[in-house]
Amino acid sequence: MAKRGTYYLGRVVKTGALDTDHIKASLRSPNSVSRYGSAWTFVDIQELTDGRSTYFFGRLVKYDPKGEVSVVDPEQRKQVRQSEPNMTIASSPFVYVPEYQGLSFLHVSNQIEHSAFMNRWAQVVNASHHQILAECAVDPIADLRSFVRKLQSLDGIYRVSASVSPPNPMFGPLWEELKEYLAKRRTDRMKVEEDSGQGTPIDTDLAEHVQGILDQTDERP
């Protein structure tokens, strides 16, 4: 049965020695992590292909290792609690596309909010790959058109704080020079901090650059 709801898009960011094969291995053989009395892991993982790309379908499941359910005792005419270890609380289906580090997942109200999904998905992967000084995170993919409109409506930008970790297939060749620069520096992430500190706006063309990302084509990257 099709699952209706609000789906979110995220991008898997790898740091340190972590590579895509480690993430794939974590999906195929996941461990569980415990947070605030609930446990989390991946279930029903399928590795599929459409002839061009390979992708993974699965579910991030939230469960109670010490779960209990209410049952009826007909002889005593009572309702009693019965132990039900590893009882499912909620699950969120997802699709992971390794080629683009793309992740699509279902928001489950009151149980697996989109921010919780991104945190727990990364935590399960990080608990499963057994690599030292390596981890992944899931960053949201924003609606760039809304972002541009918000930027253009501002009277000025006084502070900029950003982390960039190319390549992002969403931005195509715009990453190329930065990717080469980071490779030369032997790092895979850059953090940018700018603060006017003078009460006057920063001299920036950020809105124009983001608009350029939206306007890029194969003929005009």
Question: Do 153 and 204 belong to one domain?
Answer: yes
Question: Do 95 and 133 belong to one domain?
Answer: yes
User: Is there a domain that residue 2 lies in?
Assistant: no
User: Is there a domain that residue 84 lies in?
Assistant: no
CA distance 187 to 184: 8
User: Is there a domain that residue 191 lies in?
Assistant: yes
Question: Do 186 and 112 belong to one domain?
Answer: no
Tell me the C-alpha to C-alpha distance, in Å, between residue 131 and each of 1, 79, 100: 37, 48, 22
Instruction: Say how many Å lie between the first and final Cα of the chain, rounded.
Output: 41
CA distance 160 to 186: 24
User: Is there a domain that residue 54 lies in?
Assistant: yes
User: Nearest to residue 5, comparing CAs of 149, 114, 168?
Assistant: 114
Give the H/E segment covering residue 24.
helix 20-28
CA distance 38 to 97: 27
Question: Do 44 and 99 belong to one domain?
Answer: yes
What is the percent of the chain where pLDDT is above 70? 88
State the pLDDT at residue 220.
Answer: 54
Question: Do 118 and 155 belong to one domain?
Answer: no
Question: Do 115 and 171 belong to one domain?
Answer: no
Write out the residue range of the structural domain in which residue 118 sits.
Answer: 7-62+89-140
Give the pLDDT confidence of 107-137 residue by residue, as tens digits. 898 889 888 999 999 999 999 998 887 889 9
User: Is there a domain that residue 80 lies in?
Assistant: no
Give the pLDDT confidence of 59-98 residue by residue, as tens digits. 999 999 998 889 998 988 899 998 889 999 999 999 999 9
- For the ranges 48-52, 103-107, 189-193, 194-198, the one whose mean pLDDT is highest: 103-107
